[in-house]
A and B are shown apart, each in its own frame.
Chain A
Amino acid sequence: MGLLTEPRLPQPVSEDQSAEVAGLLEAASKGDQAAWRDLIARYGRRIFALAKSRCQRADLAEEVTQSVFATVAGKLGRGGYTEQGRFESWLFRVAMNRIRDEMRRLKRQADPTDPASFGGVPTRRSVESVEGVMLDKLRAAMMELPDQDREVVELRHHGQMSFKEMSELLNEPLGTLLARHHRALRKLKQIMGGEESEGES
């Protein structure tokens, strides 16, 4: 496709980053607003992007994100969370549970939604650029993936999780997740048709 000059693929969390997050969590649990703000800045948009990709609605995604951070804040405020280097996995587990709850609620409401329509509605940026059009097609193509494969793709690219973290989160072997990811990429490439190879050359 060749859309990116410098793709930012998710990186595994380093020990330094883990220590930094642990320090922020400890400070936030003692009421340090700056530390809490920092945590929101690090994870807020990642959770939002993941939720938006699942729900396809920005308002619901923000509700879910608020609910996730409310859970985390409540847990920290009551001293109910002990950091053991797995904050990110726990945070995203809370997020995934909230998202699933929201999806179930949406299904109960029987709001008719045609997956194809999500990608069919042109956004401002898709009108603006060829890259935007390609990304809109990619977004629509993702809707055709099996749910398990789509989940891995979204956690990886919208939530910016490493496979190791995903393995902890989903309680699945690393190899299984890698296989799912590759299968999803192949399927997406197939759906996107010849545009990928054309873009590459």
Chain B
Amino acid sequence: MSTNNGFQNESTPAELKAIEYSLAELGERERALAPAGLEARLEASTRHMLMAEDAPVVIARIGHRLSLVAKLRIAASVAIVGGLAAVFLSNGPSSSLSPIAARSLEEDMNYVLELRSADEGLAAMGDKIDTLFMDTSNVGDSLKTDPATTLLEGAT
């Protein structure tokens, strides 16, 4: 390869020149056979990106960064709140409130049971009084109908 074509440091051995030229031809053909209208499509699809200096892109960039920061903040907040809630639920309520509540409930239940048993006793006593009253009334009635008793009453 000659030195006047810019390849002084890129020389190719003589026996390989032919294959190199063939590769150059292949590359040339691949470029030439690019689809029709390639450049027009490239321009059409990228034109708006080149004009992005009018500010929307800047806004988009800032928005993008803020959204990332916001996402990170939200994630951190959720993690902190969730952690605190988990600690509160697992330790707080059971250790401080349950003994008092349990004791109070137990006392209430005992009181109710005592009242119930007392009430049951009073009810039985009432039944016995009623029975005694009925017996007394029967005896009284039977005496009213007895002739001897009538005689005694007339004598008086």
Contacts and interface: CB of A to CB of B under 8 A. Distances in A.
A178 B20 CA distance: 13
B43 A40 contact: yes
B39 A153 contact: no
Contacts of A93: none
A153 B121 CA distance: 111
**Which of B9, B18, B45 has the most chain A CB within a 10 Å cutoff?**
B18
**Which of A30, A70, A79 has the most chain B CB within a 10 Å cutoff?**
A70
B24 interface: yes
B47 A9 contact: no
B21 A7 contact: yes
B20 A3 contact: no
Given A45-B38, A49-B31, A158-B31, A76 B50 contact: yes
A157 B23 contact: yes
Contacts of B52: 74, 77-78
A81 B20 CA distance: 35
B25 A174 contact: no
Interface in B39-79: 39, 41-43, 45-47, 49-53, 57-58, 61
A201 to B, nearest CB: 10
Interface residues of A, number: 64
Contact of B27 (A66, A69, A77, A158): A158
Interface string B1-28: 0000111011011011011111111111
A122 interface: no
Given A3-B25, A138-B22, A185 B12 contact: yes
B102 interface: no
Nearest to B1: A9
A181 to B, nearest CB: 8
A16 to B, nearest CB: 13
24 contacts: A1-B18, A4-B22, A9-B5, A9-B7, A12-B6, A36-B46, A36-B50, A40-B43, A40-B46, A45-B34, A46-B31, A49-B30, A49-B34, A52-B34, A53-B30, A58-B34, A62-B41, A66-B42, A72-B46, A78-B57, A78-B61, A125-B29, A134-B22, A157-B23
Interface of B: 5-7, 9-10, 12-13, 15-16, 18-35, 38-39, 41-43, 45-47, 49-53, 57-58, 61
Given A69-B42, A157-B27, 20 more contacts: A4-B22, A7-B24, A11-B5, A31-B51, A33-B43, A40-B46, A45-B39, A46-B31, A62-B41, A70-B49, A73-B46, A74-B49, A78-B52, A79-B53, A135-B29, A138-B23, A157-B26, A162-B10, A182-B16, A185-B20
